[in-house]
Amino acid sequence: MDKSKIVVCDHIHEAGLDMLRHDDEIDFVFAADIDKTELLNVIADADVAITRSSTDVDARFIAAAKKMKAIVRAGVGVDNVDIEGCSKEGIIVMNVPTANTIAAVELTMTHMLSCMRMFPYSHDHLKNQRIWKREQWYGHELKGKKLGIIGFGNIGSRVGVRAKAFEMDVLAYDPYIPSSKATDLGVAYTKNFDEILSCDLITIHTPKNSETLNMIDRDEIARMKDGVVLINCARGGLYNEEALYDGLKSGKIRFAGIDVFVKEPATDNPLLDLDNICVSPHLGANTFESQYNIGTEAAKQAIEAAKGIAYPHAFNLPIDESSIPPFVKPFLEMAQKIGFLSVQMNRAPLVSIKVSGQGDIAEYVTSIATFVTVGAMASTSSDTINYVNADFIAQEKGIKIETEVLPNTAAYKNLITIRVTTEKESISISGTIFNDSVQRIVDINGFAIDVAPQGNIILFKNTDIPGVIGKVGTILANHHVNIADFRLGRNNRSQALAVIMVDNSVTEATLRELAALDACISVDYARI
């Protein structure tokens, strides 16, 4: 029997390499120390590759990997992997999402303590400058301080437990979890982001996506209490670095502990010039224990993938296009986008997802429901969500998934309707595909509309009275937000829904001003 070839492109723990070496069905190649151009020749006949941050899985890599079945990213982040490019070639992309959880948690606590006691600076004063000046290093205690945790998943929740042990007052913000997940741990829970901004210390533990990029910017920093301490051991870019720099420079932010940066290596980052910041070079996973876990888990996943046993933590299980009609695939893609859109309109713990189909597409509502679930849960769950495990994780979380076949209507040849219900409310969105695979949302909560599910979208619901559109346009202009498209729907209850496509991202300040209009019923913002 031919052996499957697994190439290790970057360094992983020796225990993982031993697992590969000692599997009789695996042809193991260690290529971590060779030139990346030469690596392209090595992977030409490989079945599976294990990579880390040193190897970019880009167009050149994918083109060279002619036999590749799967890629295991040994770690959490997949920023250096072209997932879409892999999908087009049928390459499954997997990661190892939980192996470094404790390492990241403990590094967060390290930065918190370092910031409060200015430990790196006092250490340098004595160790390197040989100055003994105790009176210069009066710090602050964690006890009695209020810690705001943004993102209460695997890492954030464990930070909360440890902060409680330091007798801190802990407050969690995560609109995508049940409040009981925090309160069961003795941690307070809030849906009001301003309450987080009023904390003494703030630490962030969210994935990096369109919703969380620059989540803490100038406006949020301005609303924080003077002398706040900020921690980021998650992903670079969650805090806007220019705003962070100015806040530290002015003293609004007393201290910051930063492990991750927008551009890495960050050796020339302006933040390094400040004397009220503790930094580390992306060490979240840098413990011997986490490296062992990452290495062995990555090796296990690579072996399973090479043998066709399983694809754990797969981001993109490819679709067998030969088994479905061509018209179905655009519906699958649109369904995932609608699922993602619906949770941005309805930020609260998921309760149920219902997918209805009319026309020929109704035959495929079960597959469509999986794609909706991936979209709805991808940015709201601490778990890694993929097409393989979406239904299982939804079931585990008590989220009900339903499908329904409806009689066809004369209006559209094929139509899908997705109803996402959270603890807050239900959102219903219908979509169809026109000629040339043109995706269109045609109904939102009973408002007839015609809009593409893409870009920066403001959804403004209001009482249907004169002058509203002009006021909305004026507010957006004052905030330098350019309108690319404006679609309006009305119902029979004297209400209107404006779906406004804009060229640039929208700040919380802009949304608050829109919400303050007398005619406003609700305002939501989504980025697809």
Tell me how far apart the alpha carbons of residues 76 and 98 are, in angstroms, rounded to a whole number: 7
The pLDDT of residue 381 is 67
The DSSP symbol for 24 reads: T
The DSSP symbol for 325 reads: -
| 35 three-state secondary structure | coil
Say what percent of the chain tops pLDDT 70. 97
Active site residue 282: yes
Query: Rounded to the nearest 10 degrees, what angle do helices 508-515 and 468-478 cross at?
Result: 160
Tell me how far apart the alpha carbons of residues 303 and 94 are, in angstroms, rounded to a whole number: 12
Dihedral angle over CA of 349, 354, 360, 363, nearest 10? 100
Widest CA span in the chain:
84
Domains 101-279 and 321-523 share a fold: no
Which of 264, 289, 363, 423 is flagged as catalytic? 264
Alpha carbons within 13 angstroms on the beta-carbon side of residue 161 total 13
The pLDDT of residue 468 is 95
Cis peptide before 265 (omega within 30 of 0): yes
Q: Are 64 and 40 in contact (CB under 8 A)?
A: yes
Active site residue 223: no
For the chain, give every domain's residue range. Answer: 4-98+289-306, 101-279, 321-523
The DSSP symbol for 57 reads: B
Q: Return per-residue pLDDT of the chain as tens, 528 residues.
A: 589 999 999 999 999 999 999 998 999 999 999 999 999 999 999 999 999 989 999 999 999 999 999 999 998 878 889 998 998 888 999 999 888 999 999 999 999 999 999 999 999 999 999 999 999 999 999 999 999 999 998 899 999 999 999 999 999 999 988 899 999 999 999 999 999 999 999 999 998 888 899 999 999 999 999 999 999 999 999 999 999 999 999 999 999 999 999 999 999 999 999 999 999 999 998 999 999 999 999 999 999 999 878 787 888 866 665 567 888 888 988 998 999 899 988 888 999 999 999 999 999 999 899 989 988 987 666 556 777 778 888 888 899 999 999 988 768 899 999 999 999 999 999 999 998 689 999 999 999 999 999 889 999 999 999 999 999 999 999 999 999 999 999 999 999 999 999 998 899 999 999 999 999 999 999 888
Residue among 382, 299, 296 nearest 70 (CA): 299
Q: Are 37 and 77 in contact (CB under 8 A)?
A: no
DSSP string computed for 400-464: EEEEEEE---SS-SSEEEEEEEESS-EEEEEEEEEGGGEEEEEEETTEEEEE-S-SEEEEEEEE-
C-alpha 275 chain-centroid distance:
31
Which of 158, 282, 313, 419 is flagged as catalytic? 282
255 beta partners: 229
The pLDDT of residue 211 is 85
Q: Which CATH superfamily is domain 321-523 in?
A: D-3-phosphoglycerate dehydrogenase; domain 3 (3.30.1330.90)
b or e along 513-523 (b: 16 or more beta carbons within 10 Å of the residue's beta carbon)? bbeebebbeeb
| Backbone region of residue 340 per phi and psi (left: phi > 0; alpha: psi in -120 to 50; beta: other values) | alpha
Tell me how far apart the alpha carbons of residues 47 and 6 are, in angstroms, rounded to a whole number: 6
CA–CA–CA angle 416, 448, 464 (5° rounding): 150
CA–CA–CA angle 293, 294, 298 (5° rounding): 115
b or e along 18-54 (b: 16 or more beta carbons within 10 Å of the residue's beta carbon)? ebbeebeebbbbbbbeeeeeebeebbeebbbbbbbee
The 3-state secondary structure of 360-415 reads HHHHHHHHHHHHHHHHHHCCCCCCCCCCCCHHHHHHHCCCEEEEEEECCCCCCCCE
The pLDDT of residue 53 is 85
* Matching residue, tokens 């979208």: 457
Helical ranges in 169-322 per DSSP H: 179-183, 193-197, 218-222, 241-250, 288-306
Active site residue 264: yes
Residue among 516, 517, 510 nearest 525 (CA): 510
Q: Are 336 and 373 in contact (CB under 8 A)?
A: no
Contacts of 66 (CB under 8 A, 6+ apart): 44, 45
The DSSP symbol for 33 reads: T
Which of 235, 254, 313, 487 is flagged as catalytic? 235
Structure tokens at 148: 């705001």
b or e along 98-129 (b: 16 or more beta carbons within 10 Å of the residue's beta carbon)? bbbbbbbbbbbbbbbebbbbbbbebeebeeee
Q: Which CATH superfamily is domain 101-279 in?
A: NAD(P)-binding Rossmann-like Domain (3.40.50.720)
Contacts of 458 (CB under 8 A, 6+ apart): 498, 499, 500, 502, 506, 511, 514, 523, 524, 525
Residue among 210, 108, 105, 189 nearest 154 (CA): 105
User: Both ends of the chain: CA-CA distance in Å?
Assistant: 46
Residue among 142, 137, 139 nearest 112 (CA): 142
Right CATH number for 4-98+289-306 from 3.30.360.10, 1.10.357.10, 3.30.479.30, 3.40.50.720? 3.40.50.720
